[in-house]
Amino acid sequence: MTDESAGFGWFRDVDPGDPDAACADIDAGSADEPADWPARAVESGFATDEAEYYDLLHEATVRATREAVRDRERADDQQLKYGVRAMDDAERTANELAERVAEWAGALFDDAPTGVDGARAVAGREPETPAERRVVSLAERVADLDDEAADLRSYIERAAPSVAPNLSRMAGPVLAARLVALAGGLGDLAKKPSGTVQVLGAEDALFAHLSGRAPSPKHGVIYTHDYVRNTRPEDRGSAARALAGKLTIAARIDHYAGDLRPDLHEELDDRIATIRARAAE
């Protein structure tokens, strides 16, 4: 809504029968101060009475909200979120079904291997009985799920650096996508304090700590990062704090600026080197 039209309300020049135009005007409009918009809508001929004005306003605002949600769900960071969740589901389901295949195949074949690779071996067999056909078919589904998980990982590794260049370089594409997913989106991650980023993925342990049943967790999924996992246990807390702090800054740069900052990664390398040097003292 421009300054010129602000006194007339969002409905100026909007056809009451065109909710898309009303949605667009509400989404882009603003006013310097409140006014009796229902009365002005009636005066302008937009609505016949106050009740109709609110009906039209409700329809337009609901549509505007729906459009905002749709745009949000189609954002690139949301695709990373869905991708990494799908990858995890595919991997978990493949492993669970592989156990079932090994159990069933062990009752039918003399040399039944285990694991996903074992399921692939079973999938290559030529079944001779109805039971064997079913276990071979199930093994084929395991192989399909494992292939899908690999394809999803490849997608994440390609997409994450363009969505979150600093976070992906610092954490690796898969861990970066996992942090985005746990936070709910890149913008949500950028708004979190480093202490929260440090324990993302350790919610169960954190709740246990808050209820007095466990010590405070030192890290969540960032444990999978080399800088935490391969630092000696007594220094992992310091390494996790240092990593979480830089990851938080990386997420904020990616969300608000989007340019790659090599100095940020060098600062983290130097900090971890200092922490690991304690072992030699």
209 and 199 assigned to the same domain? yes
65 plus 88 within the same structural domain? no
Q: Are 187 and 275 found together in one domain?
A: yes
Given 131, 162, 193, the domain boundary residue is 162
Contact 56, 38 (CB under 8 A): no
Domain containing residue 173: 164-281
In a domain, 1, yes or no: no
Closest CA to 268 of 231, 234, 233, 232: 231
Output the domain CATH number for residue 178.
Answer: 1.10.246.90
CA nearest 116: which of 86, 157, 148, 83?
148
Q: Are 81 and 184 in contact (CB under 8 A)?
A: yes
Distance in angstroms (rounded) separating the CA atoms of residues 20 and 1: 15
CB 116 within 8 A of CB 146: yes
Give pLDDT, residue 76.
86
Residues 111 and 57 in one domain: no
pLDDT digits (tens, 9 = 90+) for 148-189: 999 999 999 999 999 999 999 999 999 999 999 999 999 999
- On whether the CB atoms of residues 248 and 242 are closer than 8 A, the answer is no
Spell out the per-residue pLDDT of the chain, length 281, in tens.
443 344 567 777 787 777 777 777 777 767 777 788 888 888 888 888 888 888 888 887 777 676 666 655 556 899 999 999 999 999 999 999 999 999 999 999 988 889 999 999 999 999 999 999 999 999 999 999 999 999 999 999 999 999 999 999 999 999 999 999 999 999 999 999 999 999 998 877 767 766 777 677 778 899 999 999 999 999 999 999 999 999 999 999 999 998 999 999 999 999 999 998 986 66
CATH number at residue 158: 1.10.287
**Full-model pTM:** 0.73
110 and 130 together in one domain = yes
Q: How many residues does the chain have?
A: 281
Instruction: Please report whether residue 205 resides in a domain.
Output: yes
Burial class of residue 246 in the structure, from the number of CB atoms within 10 Å of its CB (0-12 exposed, 13-18 middle, 19+ buried): buried
Write the CB contacts of 39 (distance below 8 Å, at least 6 apart in sequence). 50
- Cβ within 8 Å of residue 71, ≥6 positions away: none
pLDDT of residue 36: 84
Diameter of the chain by CA atoms? Answer: 87
Check whether residue 230 and residue 150 sit in a common domain: no
Radius of gyration of the chain (CA): 27
